Amino acid sequence: KAGVTQTPRYLIKTRGQQVTLSCSPISGHRSVSWYQQTPGQGLQFLFEYFSETQRNKGNFPGRFSGRQFSNSRSEMNVSTLELGDSALYLCASSSRGGHYEQYFGPGTRLTVT
């Protein structure tokens, strides 16, 4: 089976812009979770989608949003970018989601200037 894919792999944006990141899960997986990874804060959970419904949400401002499509592909959007949003954004898919094992994509490296 193909693994989790994320596009784009690298992105440079300017403060105030918005960005959309995409994630395609492993075939058959219905859960997609998003994480932000930075050197200072480590891995922080953003949200989880399961069968097109947001099932869980972390402590991030409303500028961070996501959605999941009927084919389980997911997108994450960040509006009004701030310098502190520079990070590696990781997507993970799971057959059961929640507290079960997750399989990660390679990530999207976002740099905000």
Partner 1 sequence: AQSVTQPDIHITVSEGASLELRCNYSYGATPYLFWYVQSPGQGLQLLLKYFSGDTLVQGIKGFEAEFKRSQSSFNLRKPSVHWSDAAEYFCAVGAKDFGNEKLTFGTGTRLTIIP
Report the residue from 48, 49, 64, 110 that binds partner 1 according to the rule CB under 8 A. 48
Select the residue interacting with partner 1 from 92, 93, 110, 112 (CB under 8 A).
92
The contact pattern for partner 1, residues 19-38, with x = CB under 8 A and - = no contact, is: --------------x-----
Residue 18, CB-side half-sphere exposure with 13 Å CA sphere: 12
- CA separation (Å) from 20 to 96, 100, 104? 25, 27, 18
Q: According to CB under 8 A, which one of 42, 62, 70, 83 is a site residue for partner 1?
A: 42
Q: Which of 24, 107, 110, 112 binds partner 1 (CB under 8 A)?
A: 107
Cβ proximity of 57 and 47 under 8 Å: yes
Among 21, 97, 110, 112, binds partner 1 (CB under 8 A): 97
Q: How far is the CB of 27 from partner 1 (least distance, A)?
A: 17
Distances, alpha carbon 12 to alpha carbons 18, 93, 99, 101, in Å:
11, 25, 33, 31
Q: Are 48 and 98 in contact (CB under 8 A)?
A: yes
User: Contact between 87 and partner 1 (CB under 8 A)?
Assistant: no
Beta pairing class for 19-24 and 5-7: antiparallel
Q: Given the rule CB under 8 A, which residues bind partner 1?
A: 4, 33, 42-43, 45, 48, 55-56, 88, 90, 92, 97-107, 109
